[in-house]
Structure formats: structure tokens, C-alpha cells
Structure 1
Amino acid sequence: MKVINQLFFLSLLIGALAFTACSEDIEREPSPVPTEGVQAYVYAESTSLTFVPTDALSFTLNVARQNAQEAATVHLQAEGEGFTLPETVDFAAGENVKQVLITFDIPIGTTSTLKVSVPEEESYVYANSEITFTITLDYTWEDYGTGTYTSMLFGQSWPQPIMKAKEANAYKLPDCITVGYPITFTLSDDGQELVAWDIQATGYEDSSYGMVYFLPESMQRDGNVLIFAMQGLVVLDGGYGILYNGFSETLELP
């Protein structure tokens, strides 16, 4: 009886394997490719661009279409302040791709975003119907000399190269705490007050909380010495929390 049961189980197993093998041989029909409408999509070589005031303040977007049999018009929708681009792109019969010139006028020292999209009824389902650009208009940085940076948090002091913006009383400290992580800030016209210091990554990562960011509570100036009452922030629950507090970072200007 045990032998009969074993043979019955073996036959079931062989049948299951045969069914699996057959099912793998079944050819799946590909998803249907749309053939109606404009079927347009957008793409670019780079979506994060940095300019300086002497550059041509423009960049290009590629608008393409899958169905190029007839002449057609593709509409563009834009979200972003300070950018200029056409609302429509005209294609001749047989033409697949058009380059669209986008110009912009944003304040120096700022970063803005632009989202460009194709209406759903004109888009191609297997490609990107929207694209987001991040555009920075940076200052023209010039060498200001070498000062001294003293970090209370890290207990070190070192010679610090300093750059100054040609267009404003803004300063950049290249590779300050960590190589590849500059620190920038802006002083008032008389240089006595701190006007702007965005939350900036230091490049130092806490073993428990990750990247540490600097944001000063205040600044005092004593001659050529800038003393920043600093906070060390980390990302917590989608926002910033204070990890280090009550310390000063000092920069002695040349």
C-alpha cells in the first residue's frame, strides 16, 4: 500500500513539473503599443544646471513624439517662476524630435525649479511626459585670500581659502569642514551683520544620525574675525533637529 501511495505521489509531482514547463513555454502577448494621437514625451541631457551671470541664461529641452506620420502640434505646460518657453511645439510630417530653447531670469545666488509637462491626452505612455529642471544662477567667485578657520565642534584650526562674490558681499569657503563641501554666507554691505546662511551640509556624518548641517544662530564681528554661534543639525522625521548646540565656529578674514 505504501508503494502505491509513493507511486501516486510521484505521478502527481511529474505532472506538476510538466505543467510548469509547459506554462513557461507559453508566449506572453506584448502590451499593446498605442498608435493614436501625438504620443509626445520630453527628455534632456541634464536636469541640474548651474550658470554664472556671464553665461547665456538659457538651456534646451528635447520634445519628441512616437507617431511622426503627420504634422502635429504638442502643447507644453510649465510650472516655475522666471522661465520663458513656448506653449506649443510644431512638428512637420516625419519629424520626430524638436529642441526647445528655455530662457530664464532669476536672482543671482538663487536656485529655482521648472517643471515642464505634456498634457495626458498628447503624451506617450511608455516615456516621460514631464521633466523637472533645477537651475542655479551662481555668483562670480573671485579669490579673496587665505584666512584661518577655527572649529570648536571639531577642536581644530586650519588655513582656509576664501572666495568672494563679484556681485555681492557674499563669501565661499571651499572644502571647509570636508573636501567637496563648501560653506557660503552673505554679510551686510558694511560687513557687520550676517544676512544669509542657508542650512548647509558639512560633509561630516554622525555615526548615529548621519549628515551634520550648520546653521548659525547669530554672528559677531571683531575686526577681521567673524564669530558664528553655531547649531549642528541633522535630519529627523523629514525635518531638522538640533544635535550639537552651544559652540562657536570662527573665521579670521585675510
Structure 2
Amino acid sequence: MKKYILAVFAGLLLASCDTDNIAALYETNAQNISFENEEPATVVTKASEITLPVTLMRSNTKGTYTAHYTLETADEGIFTDKSEGVAVFADGEWKTTITVDAANMQGGTLYSFTLTLSDEDIETTDTILGKSNNILTTVSVMCDYDWEELGTGYYNSELFEEGWDQPVYRAVGTNIYKLPDCLYKGYDIQFELSEDGNSLVNFEPQQMGYKHGTYGMVYFYAEEMEREGNTIKFPMYGLVMYNGQLATLWSGFTESITLPE
């Protein structure tokens, strides 16, 4: 019996060491075109005009290849596709970049567009290697407000079971608040209150910085608020990208900010 086990083990070792023919196990000539980013990307700028680069990738680098895509947006007069729906890969190149210009932006307004690969590029994707391809991507851009610092408040996170001193900013001439680097460095939390400050006008889904092990970046989203003195409580949702759209991962927890006096 021991000899049999050893013989099987030796056979497995020989099989694992035979790497010369690994490439022959599965080969494909498919390009497997994919946008680099699946999750929506947001760019904030002080300028009213900006050029936005978008990267596409492929798995087969042999020869040149021309991919096609369409741009869709509800924001008329803002975006111009400088690449005119065409992305060209040079021989030996596995990634290429197209550009979209944004102009005529008004301060504090979020503008978005979605790029989608052509049916031809999607249909020629390899069914094995191309399962995780991103056939579309959404990019948002905003010409930022002028912000004034109100002071330091206190943020309390029920999700992470901790609290901390938190700088608070407000956009000049508005009731829009920003909590810079709130839960993670580089990720701000932003929301808009009514004129009297007692109700929530807007809390858009926004990246909060934490990346889930399975679903990637988590987004915070709130539909309502409660106010007690200077403390604002948000019944929060934790959203993730699932099948190309935001879906609820967590709910039933409250995040709060106590504004400076």
C-alpha cells in the first residue's frame, strides 16, 4: 500500500514538473478587450475644463487591433470624445488610452458618461479568459466648490465601532458639507442639507475607502437623516458594484457627525 501511495505521489511530482507544455493546454486568439476600471471613477477638479483619460486592455498582444465603443451621457454640451469611438492597440501593446474632454462645467455639479464596448468586440471575447472583462465603464467629473473650514467636529461610526475628531468644511454660498479624509485618507464624505439644516437634500452614493474582499470598493449612501442639536445621524447603506450596478451589501447601521459650534 505504501509503495502504491509513493508511486502516485511520484507521478504527481512528474506531472507538476512538466511545465514545457503548459501553454499548449489552452490557447486563444481572442483579444478579450476590457475597460481597466469596472467601478465608477470620479474626478474632482478646480477647472471648468479637463481632459479625462480612459484605459482599455487586451490579453492578446500579437498584432495591431482596433476596438470600438460608444459614449452615452445625459449631460448635453459637456463631453467630447476626442478618440471618436476608436481605441487602437499597437503590436505588442496590451493597454491603450482614449481621451474624453469635459467643458462648460458649473461648480458643484456632477457630470457623468458611460463607455460601452461594441457588440463586435464583446462577441469575440473568449468565453474562458474573458469572463471578468469590463464591457462598460462610467466616469464622473465635477468642478469643485470653494470650501470654507467650519472647524473640527466629531464623527461616530457604528459600522467600525469607533469615533474621532473630524474637520468639517462647507461650500461657500451653499449648505453642502464635506468631511475630508473621513473614514479613509483620500475619500471624502459629502452631503447637502436643507436651508434650515434640519433635513437631508442629497447624499449621493460615494466611495468611502473600504474595499470588501469579494466585492471591492464600498459606497456609503443615505436617504434620510435625524438631527439632535449639532449632531446629524444618517441611517446608512453600504453599497457595492454587482453586475455593473450598485447593490446593497450592508444596511441598518448609523453614521453620525457632530458639527462644530
Task: Give the TM-score band, short-chain normalised.
Answer: 0.5 to 0.7
**Match in the other structure for 1:250:** 256
Structure 1 counterpart of 2:226, one-letter code: Q
Corresponding residue for 1:220? 226
Q: CA 1:111–1:217 in 2, change beyond 3 Å: closer, same or farther?
A: closer
TM (normalized to structure 2)? 0.52
* Inter-partner Cα distance in structure 2 for 1:150 and 1:216: 15
Q: CA 1:103 to 1:112, structure 2 compared with 1: closer, same or farther past 3 Å?
A: closer
- Mapped to 2, the partners of 1:194 and 1:239 lie a distance apart of 24
Name which one, 1 or 2, has greater alpha-carbon Rg.
Answer: 1
- Equivalent in the alignment of 1:111: 110
- Structure-2 separation of matches of 1:217 and 1:241: 15
> Structure 1 residue 179 and structure 2 residue 175: aligned?
no
Change (3 A) 1:105 1:199: same
Distance 2:238 2:141 in 1: 28
Structure 2: tracts of 5 or more residues without a match: 1-41, 53-72, 81-100, 115-138
Q: Percent identity?
A: 42
Q: How does 1:1-254 map to 2 (within 5 A)?
A: 50-52=44-46, 57-58=48-49, 81-83=76-78, 104-112=103-111, 135-254=141-260
Instruction: Determine which structure has greater relative contact order: mean sequence separation of CA pairs < 8 Å that are 6+ residues apart, divided by chain length.
Output: 2
* Cα distance in 2, alignment partners of residues 158 and 152 from structure 1: 12
Equivalenced residue count is 156
CA distance in 2, matches of 1:167, 1:148: 23
Tell me if structure 2 keeps the 8 A contact 1:139–1:167.
no
- The one-letter code sitting in structure 1 at the alignment partner of 2:247 is G
Letter in 1 for 2:242: L
Alpha-carbon distance in structure 2 between the residues aligned to 1:161 and 1:114: 32
Gaps of 5+ in 1: 1-47, 62-78, 86-101, 116-132
CA shift for structure 1 position 108: 2.5
Q: Distance in 2 between matches of 1:184 and 1:213?
A: 12
* Aligned partner letter, 1:162: V
CA distance in 2, matches of 1:195, 1:171: 11
Partner of 2:94: none
SS of match in other structure, 2:219 = strand
Q: Which moved more, 1:221-230 or 1:135-144?
A: 135-144
CA pair 108-249 structure 1, distance change in 2 beyond 3 A: same
Distance 1:240 1:223, change over 3 A: same
C-alpha displacement of 1:164: 0.6
Tell me the distance in 1 between the aligned counterparts of 2:220 and 2:194. 20
TM-score for the superposition, normalised by structure 1 = 0.54
Counterpart in 2 of 1:28? none
Note the C-alpha offset of 1:167.
Answer: 2.7
| Runs ≥4 residues deviating over 6 A | none
- How far off its partner does 1:82 sit? 4.2
Change (3 A) 1:178 1:60: closer
* C-alpha contact 1:81 1:114 (8 A) present in aligned 2: no
Letter in 1 for 2:186: G
**CA 1:82–1:142 in structure 2 vs 1: closer, same or farther (change >3 Å)?**
farther
Q: Helix, strand or coil: the match of 1:218?
A: coil
Structure 1 vs Structure 2 CA RMSD: 3.1
The question of whether the paired residues in 2 share the 8 Å contact of 1:224 and 1:253 is answered with yes
For residues 134 and 159 of structure 1, do their structure 2 counterparts lie closer, same or farther at Cα, with a shift above 3 Å needed?
A: closer
